[in-house]
Amino acid sequence: MTSFRSGFAAVVGRPNVGKSTLVNALVGQKVSIVTDKPQTTRGRVRGVLTRDDAQIVFTDTPGFHKPRTLLGERLNRVVADSTGDADAVVLVVDGAAGVGRGDAFVAASRVAPLRCLKVCAVNKVDLVRGHDILPQLEAASGLAAFDHVIPVSAATGRGLDDLVAVLAEAMPEGPPLFPPDEVTDQPTELRVAEIVREKALALTRDELPHSIAVQVEEFVRQDGLIRISCLVLVERESQKGIVIGRGGTMLKRIGTQARRELELLLGSKVFLELRVKVQREWQRDPAALTRLGYGP
């Protein structure tokens, strides 16, 4: 009889290499929000893949970087905490943009010191022509003493089966860590807040990503309807104006897109209310960060 294996695989990398898209593709559904803005992922998001022979719990992590704020320091701490007890680590690099100093920084800081299975996933190979990928694979191989370097595409699925196979084999023997039908351990209210933040990031200007946070104030099921109230935090009055938009048009667009996705996630009609509040320098305020779930 084949024994069952289960364990944790930490997914790390510099910002914007496609970690969250890769985790979503591996799990088979969306568990992490995705935008083209750096530092979209702010917490440790676990996505669960269950097969007949193994369960792999992927830990999606914030992009590891040189922090400029207390928020940045706490996000880097999330990465450190996630790799410390992992059974495998997957360093994701962007094969289309090219392997560079940012990848070397992450590899030296968060991959090289580990004793678990080390895999480098060279992502976005669907955007690279033919043999042009070979120099990137060679560059990736030189970042650390990897057990495997695997070209993958989170967008097309190329290489994902190979990645899952080597990770499953590295998991320790043991029973499933999560029920087979569970794909994430995130609380519902956190997933709601993240979806609202994703839509705000996607629709507003480039200056806002680091300055937006979302907090669920109310989540009530009543007569076949879910009433949700969220507070959107920004750091300056000018940012508040951007999020609200002229005549409230931007906030309405954010709410409409978020509500559509929330109704699919929750399987119910949703009434979504959004308010915008200025909380200056919240990224540097320990109490505010802790209250928002970023820390301590």
For residue 268, what pLDDT is reported? Answer: 94
In tens, the pLDDT along 176-217 reads: 999 988 998 888 998 999 899 899 988 987 666 668 889 999
Fold of the domain spanning 188-291:
GMP Synthetase; Chain A, domain 3 (3.30.300)
Please give the mean pLDDT across all residues of the chain.
Answer: 87
Range from 62-71, 196-205, 272-281 that averages highest in pLDDT: 272-281
CB 201 within 8 A of CB 209: yes
Fold of the domain spanning 5-170:
Rossmann fold (3.40.50)
In tens, the pLDDT along 102-131 reads: 999 999 988 999 899 999 999 999 998 877
Q: Is the pLDDT of residue 92 over 80?
A: yes
Q: Is the pLDDT of residue 57 over 80?
A: yes
- CA pair distance 11, 171, nearest whole angstrom: 15
* pTM across the whole model: 0.85
Domain boundaries, the chain: 5-170, 188-291
Share of the chain above pLDDT 90, in %: 59
